[in-house]
Amino acid sequence: MIQLDTQQQAARQWFESLRDRICAEFEAIEREAGSDAAFGYTAWNREDDPEARGGGGVRGVMKGKVFEKVGVNVSTVGGDLNGDFAKTIHGAAENPAFVATGISLVAHMANPHVPAVHMNTRFLTTTKRWFGGGADLNPPLPYAEDTDAFHAAFKGACDAHDPDYHPRFQKWADEYFFIPHRGVHRGVGGIFYDHLEGDFDANFAFTRAVGEAFLAAFPPIVRKRMTRPFSDAEEQQMLEWRGRYAEFNLVHDRGTLFGLKTGGNIDAILMSLPPRAIWP
């Protein structure tokens, strides 16, 4: 069993509390739509892996009327990174030992007028300590007002901590959430940040603000669009777009690679994949 220090424990507790509030809000949306869908939770434990130092997490999944599939995972794991992979992780080349705790969320919606969304925040400890994360909006049928509202929420979170954050992290998201082999962006962007180290209290406060911004921004967009009628052609567009999303997560996503390389739970790692997709 891994031992957490005060900072790691504080981060883990925050990620778990954010998960609980997000899941409660998403279940409330399902009830408003006349559905009794609720999250099911599955615990997993790396203690079962003799090569892992320990840790685990809880995978939460809901399939409902509004959320065709949404997963909210929290994990806290520790161990030693393998030599080649350790060289790619900030601060791990000098010593492969690590502890990571974080929350990861991906929602695929039943109505193509409601955007899919991703959000995650994490705290990693190697020979260095840093926060990372972000969120991005992925609409099959984009609405400028939804995009603007999403960006405004994260700009507010960024500006309250550092006026340089939003332009820098928005640009980072545009560069990161891009599918090179398709030559297209995964969605309409958001923010992405990594290796935010130094002042733990300030960086932790910013990471909490990112979580709060997501909780403030995304549910109103869902409620605005979830009852809008859609055509078969619009649904087909959504399913084709989901194929692009799957390609990014399987080929380019850092979180997917990190989970697979560190002995994470396969179902939790691949939770981000859509329940249905097409490649015409």
Q: Is 60 helix (H, G, I), strand (E, B) or coil?
A: strand
Containing 100, the helix (H) or strand (E) segment is strand 97-109
pLDDT of residue 51: 47
CA dihedral 59, 251, 149, 191 (to 10 degrees): 90
How many whole angstroms separate alpha carbon 267 and alpha carbon 259? 11
pLDDT of residue 260: 81
How many whole angstroms separate alpha carbon 179 and alpha carbon 186? 6
pLDDT of residue 259: 78
What single letter denotes the amino acid at residue 158?
Answer: C
Angle of helix 144-159 versus helix 200-225 axis, rounded to 10: 160
Reported for 78-81, long-range contacts at CB under 8 A and 24+ positions apart, including other chains, are: 78/2, 78/53, 78/54, 79/46, 79/51, 79/52, 79/53, 79/54, 79/55, 79/262, 79/263, 80/53, 81/261, 81/262
pLDDT of residue 47: 62
pLDDT of residue 258: 80
**How many other CB atoms sit within 10 Å of the CB of residue 28?**
12
- Name the residue among 142, 120, 139, 141 with its Cα closest to residue 131: 120
pLDDT of residue 50: 46
Ordered domains of the chain (ranges, CATH): 6-272 (3.40.1500.10)
How many secondary structure helices (H) and strands (E) does the chain include? 8, 9
How many whole angstroms separate alpha carbon 253 and alpha carbon 268? 14
- Name the residue among 198, 33, 49, 44 with its Cα closest to residue 128: 198
Catalytic residue of the set 118, 151, 166, 185: 118
CA atoms within 13 A on the CB side of 239: 12
pLDDT in tens, the chain (280 residues): 688 999 999 999 999 999 999 999 999 999 999 999 999 999 988 765 544 457 889 999 999 999 999 999 999 999 898 888 888 899 999 999 999 999 999 999 999 999 999 999 999 999 999 999 999 999 999 999 999 999 999 999 999 999 999 999 999 999 999 999 999 999 999 999 999 999 999 999 999 999 999 999 999 999 999 999 999 999 999 999 999 999 999 999 888 888 787 777 788 888 899 999 999 8
Would you call 108 a catalytic residue per the annotation? no
pTM over 0.85: yes
